[in-house]
Amino acid sequence: MNSTPQAVLGGRLRAALQACNLPPERGDVTAAADTRFGDYQSNAAMILAKETRSNPRALAVQIAEKFDAGDVCDPPEIAGPGFLNFRLRPEWVSRRLRELAEDARCGVPTADKPLRIIVDFSSPNIAKPMHVGHIRSTILGDALARIARFLGHEVVADNHLGDWGTQFGKVLYGWKHLLDRAALERDPIAEMTRLYREVNALEQTDPEVHRAARQELVKLQRGDSENRAIWEQLVKLSWKEFQGVYDRLGVRFDERLGESFYDAALGPLVERLLAGGIAEISEGAVCLFFPEIPALADKPCLIRKSDGGFLYATTDLATIEYRVGRWKPDAVWYVTGAPQQLHFQQVFAAAARMGIPVRLEHVAFGSILGEDRKLMKTRSGDNVPLRDLLDEAVSRARGMIEEKNPSLSAEEKENIANVVGLGAVKYAELSQHRMSDYVFSWPKMLSLQGNTAPYLQNACVRIHSIFRKLGDDSGGAGDVTFTTKEELALARKLLQFGEVVPLVLREFRPNLLANFLFETANAFHAFYEACPVLKSEGATRRSRLVLCEASIRVLKQGLDLLGIGVPEKM
RNA sequence: GCGCCCGUAGCUCAGGGGAUAGAGCAGCGGAUUUCUAAUCCGUUGGUCGCAGGUUCAAAUCCUGCCGGGCGCGCCA
């Protein structure tokens, strides 16, 4: 059931349109751009006037006459060229807010048609450290999975690990010839990375090493038991490391089927596509050509190399087949970087040609840049390890807490540092439009001012503080009355929560939710400054406590949908 | 060469057919015997890259150009 102001007004507007013999599907209502024009507006009269070649203002009058405002809003006002403006009645806002404060879903409706959705994200490579390149996929994918779940969809979060690449030849060779057991004990990923790098360097000067490493890879692929056992070790050790990162970030997967899982399916798949005339041989490789799609016309999709090896696209197609068979999903979302857009266009086109019935979406995103506006790297030019980045976030947050609130216990400080530091990193990602490249800046994301996680968390802390002081003296159950403009503004904002959350999935835009939460926190802070809660009395006090309750619930729920926690103190 | 993405305030970015284009930061001016000032209020600041087009209405849609990023058979 959807009882957001937008849905309620929209329903009534559609009824009015019907009463005027106008098509009700034009009855969309949007939040007003400017509060001077009320809370919500509709452009229906102008759009319909154009379609029916009539006068927009006259049409607006006609619609307004049929509009049953009930107790929801004042009679609609007609303004400008034919806008219909709606101003919610405080009594109605009050009642809705009271409901929101007691609603486990904070007024967010569930999807009309629940879907089964596979979200493919994170996908780090075995035997390599997770680095900043994985952070956007991980955080964005997790947030989308959380939001989809909350909206009532069935979500399968799948981590498509890079566990079968050519890197294993090198690592296997290194493992057999250069392994430092003690180093492996201390920091497995670091040691694996060292092996990879050393062998890579050796290969440059020694063709014999190159040949030997290649041989190790072939042996692994043929199922050699020794290499297979080492590989399993690599996967196990890497996963342990990844799991540590995911635990810190609060990221969960329902499935973690890496590339290796699909290996056996690749050969038969290619043969089938060849036999079915879907793919063809060209210059010794097996390709799909898409002359009918202009963007792909001169860009073949390779699924088998001339040396018999398989490619990225091959695995992705096998993965789609498997997933469709296993889960029968309505949609699969791939949360990977924008540079892979062409690849996914090809894979999606291939899947379409294969007749696979599923909606495939590439949720692309931009790059993280350093202060120099180039891809973020360490001083030595390497990728920044994710673990180090998270450590620094927590450590910086710890410093801030130490400075601001030194009297907290060590345990509290540590807990808060984690929630604030990691929240800041996540929020910096999610508050940004996913397609834009963004400049990574510690001071900016950890600032207590502006559109940051700590700012939102601080709003929650203030509320927690009020309830702490309140103690047993509940009094939270009261009618909401608005004696100041700040109270009404906050209430109206809170009711929009249910309008914003579903919007996020329309274009995979968590930044819309982040934006809303920022505006909500902002409205709360203004309310907090203007309206004493504990010092007020009677009905006003009870009313303000309800506003606080509704605010904390919305902020907490909203942040939780972004995968961000809320401390009680900071 | 082809394709995708981006160009909005000094800086970082929202807004993706509707009203006088918005935030944050920085700048300037105010508010504190505090329910956590880690905040709030006010204010300065814009040929929405350029040029056409569609429309009653364009930052938003279309076309072309300029500038930047990325990608384009045998990596993922």
ipTM: 0.95
* Strand B contact residues in chain A (170-229), C-beta within 7 Å: none
Give the pLDDT score at A476: 54
Give the pLDDT score at A191: 95
Instruction: Judge whether A379 lies within some domain.
Output: no
Distance A533 CA to B40 C1' (A): 16
Q: Are residues A322 and A214 part of one domain?
A: no
Specify the number of domains making up chain A. 4
Distance A527 CA to B37 C1' (A): 15
Distance A64 CA to B53 C1' (A): 35
Tokens of A538: 């009677």
Reported confidence tier of residue A53, pLDDT bands at 50, 70, 90 = confident
C-alpha torsion A218→A222→A228→A230, nearest 10: -10
Distance A433 CA to B13 C1' (A): 9
Distance A100 CA to B72 C1' (A): 51
- Of A204, A219, A249, the position where a domain reaches its end is A249
Q: Which nucleotides of B are covered by protein (CB under 7 A)?
A: 1-6, 12-20, 22-26, 35-41, 55-57, 69-76
Distance A136 CA to B43 C1' (A): 37
Alpha-carbon span A319 to A338, nearest angstrom: 20
Q: Are residues A44 and A131 part of one domain?
A: no
* Strand B contact residues in chain A (103-132), C-beta within 7 Å: 125
A570 touches strand B (CB under 7 A): yes
Q: Which helix (H) or strand (E) holds A118?
A: strand A116-120
Percent of chain A clearing pLDDT 90 (strictly above): 84
* Strand B contact residues in chain A (505-534), C-beta within 7 Å: 509, 511-512, 515, 518, 522, 525-526, 528-534
Q: What is the pLDDT of residues A334-353, one digit of tens each?
A: 999 999 999 999 999 999 99
Q: Are residues A141 and A215 part of one domain?
A: no
Q: Which domain holds residue A207?
A: 167-249
Q: Give the 3-state secondary structure of residue A138.
A: helix
The pair phi, psi for residue A333, each rounded to 5°, is -110, 125
CA dihedral for A266, A271, A273, A278, sign (positive or negative) = positive
Q: Are residues A434 and A555 part of one domain?
A: yes
Q: Are residues A435 and A541 part of one domain?
A: yes
Q: Give the 3-state secondary structure of residue A433.
A: coil
Contact assessment for residue A360 and residue A351, using Cβ atoms and an 8 Å cutoff: yes
Distance A483 CA to B36 C1' (A): 25
DSSP strands (E only) in A23-92: 30-31, 40-42, 77-79, 83-86
Q: Are residues A298 and A198 part of one domain?
A: no
> Region A392-400: what's the mean pLDDT?
94
Q: Are residues A199 and A76 part of one domain?
A: no
Q: Are residues A141 and A229 part of one domain?
A: no
Give the pLDDT score at A474: 62
What CATH number corresponds to the domain at position A438? Answer: 1.10.730.10
Q: What is the pLDDT of residues A143-164, one digit of tens each?
A: 999 999 999 999 999 999 999 9
Q: Are residues A343 and A269 part of one domain?
A: yes
Exposed / middle / buried, residue A103 (Cβ in 10 Å: 0-12, 13-18, 19+): middle
Tokens of A161: 């690990």
Q: Are residues A321 and A468 part of one domain?
A: no
Q: Are residues A450 and A329 part of one domain?
A: no
Alpha-carbon span A255 to A479, nearest angstrom: 46
Alpha-carbon span A60 to A16, nearest angstrom: 11
Alpha-carbon span A123 to A160, nearest angstrom: 5
A485 touches strand B (CB under 7 A): no
Instruction: Judge whether A301 lies within some domain.
Output: yes
Q: What is the pLDDT of residues A355-394, one digit of tens each?
A: 999 999 999 999 998 878 788 888 888 888 999 999 999 9
Q: What is the pLDDT of residues A282-309, one digit of tens each?
A: 999 999 999 988 889 889 999 999 999 9
Q: Which residue is nearest to nucleotide B25 (CA to C1')?
A: A450
Q: What is the 3-state secondary structure (H, E, C) of A243-274?
A: HHHHHHHCCCCCECCCHHHHHHHHHHHHHHHH
